[in-house]
């Protein structure tokens, strides 16, 4: 969208953002900082593109120099392919000539074959006609034979052969047809009348049948009605007798009497319903009272259940948080499991030292100074080369081979020099890598590659070992952390249990002396419980003996203990004493029972703490010592593994240093090997050329001296260029390496910080887990106490629930018995009402009257049926008589038709005989079959001979065409496709690239005024570049003049103050070149010019910014007539606001003929809106307000004059 919108609106993005659509906060940019103003105007004029164009030209010149070398090699390859393609085209042309000759010969043969084919076609057509005639004759004979047989059959079937003419026979046939038609009409009328009589008879029979069925049904209903009345009477008497409802009259009951009795029965049913409802209400009251008792017990149980559930929820929440924290801890531990913090610290220190070393090394090389020196030397060499080339142009040109030889020698010298330089630069490094050896140039690359592979294998092996050792160290560290965590957990668990025991024991025993006194307290409480239990058992046993003693004494009059006889007084005294003791022992037993219960409860509470105490002792004496022992063993093993890891890392660092040295040699060695191969190839080419020219051993002539000097200078220039490129490459390489190293160093620091944060998070999570574990243990203990109180409440609740259910079942059974009596009575009443309704239905349907009417209708229908049957018999007799007469007339008519058919068949047989004779005459005219077949065979032999010759020609032609196709396929290969065009295009591309590259160099030097212009620059080129520069400067100055003119006019039309005559924008070139301009807004009063920024009021600043934007819009927005003003009257007084409105009106008046002009004004100043909102410019404006809910509402409103 950022590219599409400016393109569619016809302006640049800078114009859209800085001129057309500007927010109120950024509307005063023309009077902001000089840097901001320069950036805005540079964006508007697209000035930065000029500088970027220079950089692009420079880069393009360098890239094209490299491309020219590639194009030369491609051109040589294309020349070879072009020659091969020429040979293939010649072969194709020769084969095409031979093909054309064969084609002409084949055309003659094809003409002869066509002549023979036409003759064969005519003979075949004649033969085909003969066959068709023969088939027609056979068809006609078969047809005649069939008709002849038919004629004989018709003659034999004739009853009498009539000798009258055909016309007379047809006349007789017509008369007989008319008589038969009259008879058929009469018979059809009689048959219709017969059918009508049968239909009427059938209808009457059906009516009688229906009447009989309905009469029988009504008679059955009358009988059923009588039975229902008897059943009703019986039911009424039975109900009155069973339920004692009163006396019933004897005999048959009338309908009114039965109705009164039925109403009395219904009244008794309402009494049953009322009794049942009263029983339900009393049952519900008793059940509600029982349920109230259960509800009280259930509420108490529910409260305990809620407390228990709340504790369980709290416990589940704690367990869930523990699980979440453990998962979070596991994730963090997994993330840092492979990280060695000590190794990270060591890596950071090493990388810091290495970074300082690389920075110092980069500064010591002084790349920029060396590159400038080399460029100066290259410029001097270019001047000398130009002088030598001018001198060489005056001398006679030598042959192409000598020039080629000199070029090859020059190339050979450059290659040897470059090869020697590379070997000299890297000789010491190669000896260091190869243990003091310096192999030959041919074997150098192989040996360096082998050394690299061997070191790479060692590095890989050591890396695997180091990773394994580091993994073992990390595993041990994780185990140590886990043991430390367990040890801390044991200590905290032990402290938690100790605090719990101390808190509980202090509540039970005020003289508690510490956790170690728990066994003594346990023994003391158990002893007290046993003593109280024994006292209670003794007292209870004595109480149980008092009542038997009294009964024995009264029954046997003896002492129950010693069996001594009692006197009357002693017996009374003994019984009295036993009763007194029994009364006093009851109170004593209650006290002992309470004391025994308290002692047992105290013992139970102390005993419940026994498991907690045993766990406390077990953790202190077993778990903690074992964990400390494991921790010591793991620490010793970790020290050993760390030592082994340091040894492996040391060896790995040494091997990596050796490998880095070998890797640094790979590129120079590959370059050296490539140069060595090129040197051998060039040397072979030079030897071949020297041998061909036979110049070995001869003296050097002046042309060669010039060429030699040129070669030396060119070689020196190339060397300087390669040195400059090498310096630049080295500079880029070192800078990239330094930047990459800085990035790696930053990554290590970031990783170290990330690991430290995660370790801190793990520590914090461990603390939270310990706190959660303490809370969980406390909740579990509280749950145990709640579970004890929960059981008794549950039993009480279940008892009340069972009592409620038993009562509910008992009352339900009573209610069900009463309801059963009511249901039985209801069923008897329903049965009686059903019988009564059926009796009433019989009277309502008036079935007795209907029965009498149907009997009368049946007798009438039977008399009508009898008259219909007599009429049917008379019609049948008349129809039989008419059919006999019609049969006699039909036999005579058939005899006449048979005579006519026989005469017609005889005529057809005669006609077919004549046609067969005519076809036999045509066969004789065309000739016999044998003559035509012999001619056809002769023509076929001739045609086969010609086809054989034609096939031979086709075979030869296919050979030529296969050769042509093969050569064309070869030409269609990718290497030959458009070879001439490719060669020509490559040649043109090479030449044009060379020319363009020279022009780019000239244009760059001409456009970049800060760079020196080469002496080889032609006058024409300089003139064009100067024209281009002047055009750029002239465009900028014209636009600025146009902008300043519009600004001046708008200011004088708008501003109502007297202190500023007008304002203007000054643009000055920065430096001697034309790459950049500086801008400032000035105000003029008379001859005095001052910079406006910092010296104007807020209103003048707003007005100046608006006018500058209006001027820029007038200048640059011809294709986009949109201008948006956001609060333009901010800080403007009344006169200046009116003047601005007038200026906008004049702009609208000037632009009213422009189709795409649109002025958008956003303002709170209604007076300003009235000034510009006139009806000749717009019909509506839009007002934005807020409703009661603070929602924005936009409304279109009419503009009125």
How many CB atoms within 10 Å of residue 45?
21
φ and ψ at residue 1094, rounded to 5 degrees: 85, -5
What is the model's pLDDT at position 446? 79
Burial of residue 252 (number of CB atoms within 10 Å: 0-12, 13-18, 19+): exposed
Do residues 658 and 455 lie in contact, with contact meaning Cβ atoms separated by under 8 Å? yes
- CA 486, 492, 496, 498: dihedral to nearest 10 degrees? 100
Across residues 836-842, what is the average pLDDT?
77
Across residues 911-928, what is the average pLDDT?
75
What is the model's pLDDT at position 390? 66
Residue 685 tokens read as: 């080419």
What is the model's pLDDT at position 59? 74
Nearest Cα neighbor of 22 from 1126, 1108, 1116, 1105 is 1126
pTM of the model: 0.29
- Spatial distance between the Cα atoms of 106 and 110, rounded to a whole number of angstroms: 6
Furthest-apart CA atoms within the chain: distance in Å: 183
CA angle 399, 402, 405 (to 5 degrees): 150
Write down the CATH number for the domain with range 4-47+1018-1198.
Answer: 3.40.50.300
- CA 21, 26, 27, 30: dihedral to nearest 10 degrees? -110
pLDDT tens for 206-244 read 887 887 788 777 777 777 777 777 777 777 777 777 665
Across residues 4-21, what is the average pLDDT?
74
pLDDT tens for 303-333 read 777 777 887 888 888 888 888 878 887 877 7
pLDDT score of 398 more than 50 = no
Helix residue ranges per DSSP H, 1055-1133: 1098-1116
- Spatial distance between the Cα atoms of 994 and 67, rounded to a whole number of angstroms: 9
Helix residue ranges per DSSP H, 509-567: 518-556
Tell me the DSSP string of 6-58. Answer: HHHHTS-HHHIIIIIB--GGGTTGGGS-HHHHHHHHHHHHTTHHHHHHHHHHH
Across residues 552-577, what is the average pLDDT?
71
φ and ψ at residue 533, rounded to 5 degrees: -65, -40
Residue 381 tokens read as: 């060499």
pLDDT score of 1014 more than 50 = no
Domain covering 58-157+928-981, topology: Helix Hairpins (1.10.287)
pLDDT score of 342 more than 70 = no
- Spatial distance between the Cα atoms of 548 and 561, rounded to a whole number of angstroms: 11
- CA 889, 892, 897, 899: dihedral to nearest 10 degrees? -170
The order of strands in the sheet holding 1077-1085 is 1062-1069, 1077-1085, 1088-1091
Do residues 1054 and 1045 lie in contact, with contact meaning Cβ atoms separated by under 8 Å? no
pLDDT score of 888 more than 70 = no
What is the model's pLDDT at position 547? 58
Which uninterrupted H or E stretch holds 877? helix 847-926
pLDDT score of 272 more than 70 = no
Residue 573 tokens read as: 């005294």
End-to-end CA distance of the chain: 41
What is the model's pLDDT at position 616? 78
Across residues 334-342, what is the average pLDDT?
68
Do residues 1143 and 1053 lie in contact, with contact meaning Cβ atoms separated by under 8 Å? yes
Give strand pairing partners of 1063: 1083
Is 559 annotated as ligand-binding?
A: yes
Nearest Cα neighbor of 61 from 1021, 1000, 1013, 718 is 1000
Do residues 932 and 127 lie in contact, with contact meaning Cβ atoms separated by under 8 Å? yes
Q: Is the dihedral of CA 840, 843, 846, 850 positive or negative?
A: positive
How many CB atoms within 10 Å of residue 1168?
21
- Spatial distance between the Cα atoms of 667 and 429, rounded to a whole number of angstroms: 13
Across residues 523-532, what is the average pLDDT?
80
Residues 419-679, CATH architecture: Orthogonal Bundle (1.10)
pLDDT score of 777 more than 70 = yes
Do residues 858 and 211 lie in contact, with contact meaning Cβ atoms separated by under 8 Å? yes
pLDDT score of 963 more than 60 = yes
Residue 252 backbone zone (phi > 0: left; psi -120 to 50: alpha; other: beta): beta
Residue 1195 is given by DSSP the state: E
pLDDT score of 1074 more than 50 = no
Q: How many residues does the chain have?
A: 1201
Q: Which residues of 771-789 are buried (b: 16+ CB within 10 A; e: fewer)?
A: ebbbbbbbbebebeebeee
At a CB cut-off of 8 Å and minimum separation 6, what does 71 contact? 986, 989, 990, 993
Do residues 497 and 612 lie in contact, with contact meaning Cβ atoms separated by under 8 Å? yes
pLDDT score of 1178 more than 80 = no
Tell me the DSSP string of 259-316. Answer: HHHHHHHHHHHHHHHHHHHHHHHHHHHHHHHHHHHHHHHHHHHHHHHHHHHHHHHHHH
Most confident of 11-15, 657-661, 1053-1057, 1064-1068: 1064-1068
Three-class SS of residue 784? helix
Is 1025 annotated as ligand-binding?
A: no
- Spatial distance between the Cα atoms of 200 and 866, rounded to a whole number of angstroms: 11
- Spatial distance between the Cα atoms of 262 and 202, rounded to a whole number of angstroms: 51
Q: How far is CA 485 from the centre of its chain?
A: 45
For 324-328, 570-574, 614-618, which range has the lowest pLDDT when averaged over its residues? 570-574
Across residues 1000-1019, what is the average pLDDT?
51
What is the model's pLDDT at position 1073? 47
Across residues 705-718, what is the average pLDDT?
76
At a CB cut-off of 8 Å and minimum separation 6, what does 342 contact? 642
pLDDT score of 511 more than 70 = no
φ and ψ at residue 115, rounded to 5 degrees: -65, -50
φ and ψ at residue 512, rounded to 5 degrees: -65, 130
Do residues 886 and 180 lie in contact, with contact meaning Cβ atoms separated by under 8 Å? yes
What is the model's pLDDT at position 1063? 92
pLDDT tens for 141-196 read 888 788 777 777 777 777 666 666 667 667 776 777 777 777 777 777 877 777 77
Residue 402 tokens read as: 């000598």
- Spatial distance between the Cα atoms of 231 and 1040, rounded to a whole number of angstroms: 128
Three-class SS of residue 840? helix
Residue 118 tokens read as: 């036409």
Across residues 900-923, what is the average pLDDT?
77
Nearest Cα neighbor of 565 from 582, 552, 583 is 552
Do residues 1026 and 1037 lie in contact, with contact meaning Cβ atoms separated by under 8 Å? no
Across residues 939-959, what is the average pLDDT?
83
Residue 423 tokens read as: 């070997």
What is the model's pLDDT at position 8? 67
The whole-chain average pLDDT of the chain stands at: 75
Residue 242 tokens read as: 């069973």
Question: Half-sphere exposure of 277 toward its Cβ, with a 13 Å CA cutoff?
Answer: 6
What is the model's pLDDT at position 1145? 79
Tell me the chain's radius of gyration from C-alpha atoms: 67
- Spatial distance between the Cα atoms of 672 and 677, rounded to a whole number of angstroms: 9
pLDDT tens for 987-1000 read 888 888 888 778 77
- Spatial distance between the Cα atoms of 69 and 992, rounded to a whole number of angstroms: 13
pLDDT score of 1089 more than 80 = yes
Q: Is the dihedral of CA 896, 900, 906, 909 positive or negative?
A: negative
Going from N- to C-terminal start, the domains of the chain cover: 4-47+1018-1198, 58-157+928-981, 166-242+847-914, 419-679
Kindly give the pairing relationship between strand 1157-1162 and strand 1121-1126: parallel
Nearest Cα neighbor of 733 from 744, 722, 741 is 741
How many CB atoms within 10 Å of residue 41?
22
Tokens 């470059």 belong to 418
Are 4-47+1018-1198 and 58-157+928-981 the same fold in CATH?
A: no
């Amino acid at each position: 969208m950022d590219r599409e919108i400016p393109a569619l609106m016809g302006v640049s993005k800078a114009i859209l953002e800085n001129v057309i659509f500007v927010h109120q906060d950024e509307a005063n940019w023309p009077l902001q900082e000089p840097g901001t103003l320069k950036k805005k105007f540079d964006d508007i004029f697209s000035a930065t593109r000029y500088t970027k164009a220079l950089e692009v030209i420079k880069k393009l010149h360098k890239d094209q120099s490299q491309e020219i070398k590639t194009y030369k090699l491609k051109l040589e390859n294309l020349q070879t392919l072009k020659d091969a393609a020429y040979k293939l085209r010649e072969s194709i042309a020769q084969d095409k000539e031979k093909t054309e000759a064969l084609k002409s010969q084949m055309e003659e043969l094809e003409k002869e074959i066509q002549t023979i084919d036409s003759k064969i076609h005519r003979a075949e057509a004649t033969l085909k006609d003969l066959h068709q005639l023969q088939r027609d004759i056979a068809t006609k004979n078969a047809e005649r034979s069939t008709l002849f047989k038919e004629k004989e059959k018709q003659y034999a079937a004739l009853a009498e052969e009539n000798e009258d003419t055909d016309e007379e026979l047809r006349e007789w046939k017509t008369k007989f047809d008319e008589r038969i038609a009259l008879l058929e009409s009469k018979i059809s009328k009689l048959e219709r009348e017969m059918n009508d009589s049968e239909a009427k008879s059938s209808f009457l029979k059906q009516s009688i049948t229906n009447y009989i069925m309905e009469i029988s049904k009504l008679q059955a209903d009358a009988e059923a009605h009588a039975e229902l009345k008897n059943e009703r009477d019986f039911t009424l008497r039975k109900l009155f007798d069973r339920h004692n409802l009163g006396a019933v009259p004897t005999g048959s009951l009338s309908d009114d009497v039965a109705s009164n009795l039925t109403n009395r029965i219904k009244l008794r049913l309402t009494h049953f319903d009322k009794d049942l409802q009263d029983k339900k209400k009393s049952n519900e009251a008793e059940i509600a009272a029982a349920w109230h008792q259960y509800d009280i017990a259930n509420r108490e149980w529910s409260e305990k259940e809620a407390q228990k559930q709340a504790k369980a929820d709290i416990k589940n929440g704690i367990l869930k948080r523990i699980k979440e924290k453990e998962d979070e801890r596991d994730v963090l531990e997994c993330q840092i499991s492979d990280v060695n913090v000590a190794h990270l610290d060591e890596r950071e220190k090493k990388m810091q030292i290495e970074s300082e070393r690389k920075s110092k090394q980069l500064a010591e090389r002084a790349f920029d100074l060396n590159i400038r020196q080399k460029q100066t030397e290259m410029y001097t060499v270019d001047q000398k080369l130009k002088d030598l080339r001018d001198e060489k142009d005056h001398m006679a040109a030598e042959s192409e081979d000598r020039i080629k030889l000199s070029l090859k020698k020059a190339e050979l010298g450059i290659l040897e020099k470059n090869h020697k330089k590379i070997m000299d630069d890297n000789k010491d490094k190669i000896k260091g890598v190869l243990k003091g050896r310096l192999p030959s140039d041919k074997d150098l690359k192989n040996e360096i590659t082998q050394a690299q592979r061997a070191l790479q294998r060692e590095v890989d092996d050591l890396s695997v070992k180091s990773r394994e050792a580091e993994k073992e160290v990390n595993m041990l560290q994780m185990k140590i952390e886990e043991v430390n965590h367990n040890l801390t957990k044991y200590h905290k668990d032990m402290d938690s249990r100790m605090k719990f025991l101390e808190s509980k024991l202090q509540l039970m025993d005020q003289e508690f002396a510490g956790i170690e006194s728990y066994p003594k307290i346990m023994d003391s409480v158990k002893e007290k419980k046993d003593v109280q239990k024994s006292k209670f058992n003794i007292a209870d046993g004595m109480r149980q003996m008092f009542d038997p003693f009294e009964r024995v004494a009264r029954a046997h009059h003896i002492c129950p203990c010693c069996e001594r006889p009692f006197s009357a007084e002693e017996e009374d005294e003994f019984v009295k004493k036993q009763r007194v003791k029994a009364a006093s022992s009851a109170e004593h037993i209650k006290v002992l029972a309470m004391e025994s219960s308290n002692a047992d409860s105290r013992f139970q509470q102390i005993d419940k703490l026994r498991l907690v105490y045993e766990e406390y002792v077990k953790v202190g004496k077993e778990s903690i010592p074992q964990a400390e022992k494991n921790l010591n063993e793991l620490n010793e093993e970790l020290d050993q593994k760390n030592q082994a890891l340091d040894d492996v890392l040391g060896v790995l660092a040494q091997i990596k240093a050796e490998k880095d040295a070998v890797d640094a040699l790979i590129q120079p060695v590959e370059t050296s090997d490539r140069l060595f191969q090129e040197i051998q190839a060039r040397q072979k080419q030079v030897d071949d050329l020297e041998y061909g020219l036979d110049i070995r051993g001869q003296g050097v002539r002046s042309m060669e001296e010039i060429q030699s000097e040129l070669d030396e200078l060119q070689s020196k220039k190339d060397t300087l260029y390669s040195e400059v490129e090498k310096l630049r490459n080295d500079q880029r390489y070192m800078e990239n390496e330094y930047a990459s190293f800085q990035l790696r160093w930053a990554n290590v620091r970031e990783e170290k910080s990330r690991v430290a944060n995660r370790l801190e998070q793990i520590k914090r999570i461990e603390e939270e887990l310990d706190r959660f574990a303490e809370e969980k243990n406390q909740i579990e203990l509280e749950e145990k106490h709640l579970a004890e109180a929960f059981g008794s409440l549950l039993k009480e609740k279940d008892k009340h629930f069972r009592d409620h259910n038993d009562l509910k079942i008992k009352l339900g059974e009573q209610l069900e018995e009463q309801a059963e009596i009511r249901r039985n009575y209801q069923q008897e009443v329903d049965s009686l009402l059903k019988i009564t309704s059926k009796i009433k239905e019989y009277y309502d349907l008036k079935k007795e009257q209907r029965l009498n009417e149907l009997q009368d209708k049946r007798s009438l229908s039977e008399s009508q049926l009898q008259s219909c049957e007599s009429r049917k018999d008379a019609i049948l007799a008349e129809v039989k008589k008419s059919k006999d007469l019609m049969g006699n007339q039909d036999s005579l008519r058939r005899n006449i038709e048979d005579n006519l058919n026989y005469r017609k068949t005889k005529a057809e047989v005669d006609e077919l005989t004549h046609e067969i004779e005519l076809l036999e005459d045509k066969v004789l005219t065309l000739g016999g079959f044998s003559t035509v077949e012999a001619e056809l065979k002769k023509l076929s032999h001739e045609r086969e001979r010609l086809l054989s010759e034609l096939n031979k020609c086709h075979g030869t032609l296919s050979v030529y065409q296969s050769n042509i196709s093969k050569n064309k396929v070869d030409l269609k290969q990718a290497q030959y496709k458009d070879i001439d065009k490719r060669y020509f295009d490559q040649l043109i591309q090479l030449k044009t690239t060379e020319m363009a590259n020279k022009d780019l160099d000239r244009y760059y030097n001409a456009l970049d005024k800060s760079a020196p212009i080469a002496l080889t620059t032609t006058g024409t080129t300089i003139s064009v570049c100067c024209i281009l520069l002047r055009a750029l400067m002239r465009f900028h100055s014209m636009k600025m003049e146009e902008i300043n003119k519009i600004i001046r006019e708008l200011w004088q039309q708008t501003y109502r103050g007297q202190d500023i005559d007008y304002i203007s924008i000054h643009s000055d070139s920065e430096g001697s070149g034309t790459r950049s301009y500086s801008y400032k807004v000035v105000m003029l009063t008379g001859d005095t010019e001052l910079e406006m920024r910092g010296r104007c009021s807020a209103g003048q600043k707003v007005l100046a910014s608006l006018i500058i934007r209006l001027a820029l819009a007038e200048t640059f927005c011809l294709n986009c007539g949109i201008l948006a003003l956001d609060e333009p009257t901010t800080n403007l007084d009344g006169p200046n606001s009116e003047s601005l409105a007038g200026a906008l009106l004049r702009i609208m008046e000037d632009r009213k003929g422009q189709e795409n002009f649109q002025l958008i004004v956003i303002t709170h100043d209604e007076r300003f809106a009235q000034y510009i909102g006139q009806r000749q410019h717009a019909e509506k404006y839009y007002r934005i307000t807020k409703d009661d809910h603070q929602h924005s509402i936009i409304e279109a409103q009419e503009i009125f004059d």
